[in-house]
Amino acid sequence: MPANNALNNEEDHRDTNTPDASCDASTDTDNEANNDADTSKGIDDKGADDDSVCSDDDAGDDSLPSAAPAETEASAEEDIGKKINQLRLAKGYSQRKLAKLAGLTNTSISSIERNKVSPAVNTLKAILTVLGSDLTTFFSDEWKEPKARVVVTPKDLLELSEAGSRVSLKQVYNCSTTKNLGFLIETYQPNSSTEEKIAHEGEEIGTVIEGKILIRVEETTYLLNQGDSYVIDTMKPHTFINPSDSITRIVSAHTPTTY
């Protein structure tokens, strides 16, 4: 837990957005809340308008894969969650953004990606339409798994914040479909903040490498300076605020990798 002063004051929060990215038709991770409210990670949606760099998949059709590969129902379901996650990250979308564009809840997307729920045909079609794919391609033998990278350069980082946002959340994404840990490089412009009181499944740990940050967890506010670290249960509503006139930088890791 952060070694810091607990401030019991209330401060205004500004919203942060979320968005562009860079890895092609394959993706990686991310998490979400266990309640049907539209709550998600401390940052808004991700948005991306460009397709990426890892693998690719796209087509057009709208019939369910009757002629899908002869696989067991269980293995087919496993593929669904993993493939949707890959396509989403390739687009640079957060679970929240995908849910919004597809007319679903964050919890639904999170459950589908983790294969806890098998989506109805219409739901799957809506998701794939947003992600620029279709049922035929999704269930075809042409689907390609992305190749995981060892080195992730600055241009390969996945930006989760909307263009123009004053908070930048860059995810270190190497196209792996099996990793269990998410890692972010965060930059907060002077007097900026994440969305107010967001919550999502998992745990997060981070270190302030420049500047200072206020972290409000439920009703308690903690002030962290350069060199201070924090550990929070992200199921509890939380907000990150840069109260200073200088830039703040943080590196953080979170589980699960869904975001």
pLDDT at 85: 86
Q: What is the pTM of this model?
A: 0.58
pLDDT at 19: 40
> pLDDT tens-digit profile of 51-85?
344 544 433 344 444 434 434 444 444 578 888 98
CA–CA separation, 245 vs 226, rounded Å?
15
Percent of the chain beyond pLDDT 90?
33
CA distances to 107, 125, 252 from 132, in Å: 21, 10, 30
For the chain, the C-alpha Rg in angstroms (whole number) is 18
SS3 for the chain is CCCCEEECCCCCCCCCCCECCCCCCCCCCECCCCCCCCCCCCCCCCCCCCCCCCCCCCCCCCCCCCCCCCCCHHHHHHHHHHHHHHHHHHHCCCHHHHHHHHCCCHHHHHHHHCCCCCCCHHHHHHHHHHCCCCHHHHCCCCCCCCCCCCCCCHHHCEECECCCCCEEEEECCCCCCCCCCEEEEEEECCCCECCCCECCCCEEEEEEEECEEEEEECCEEEEEECCCEEEEECCCCEEEECCCCCCEEEEEEEECCEC
pLDDT at 95: 82
Those residues with Cβ within 8 angstroms of residue 227's Cβ, 6 or more apart along the chain or in another chain: 207, 208
CA distances to 23, 154, 178 from 148, in Å: 11, 16, 9
pLDDT at 259: 62
pLDDT at 22: 43
Q: In what order do the strands lie in the sheet with 203-210?
A: 158-159, 167-171, 182-188, 248-255, 203-210, 229-233
Tokens 């397709």 found at? 51
Structure tokens at 91: 């687009």
The segments of the chain whose pLDDT lies below 50 read: 1-53, 55-77
pLDDT at 181: 85
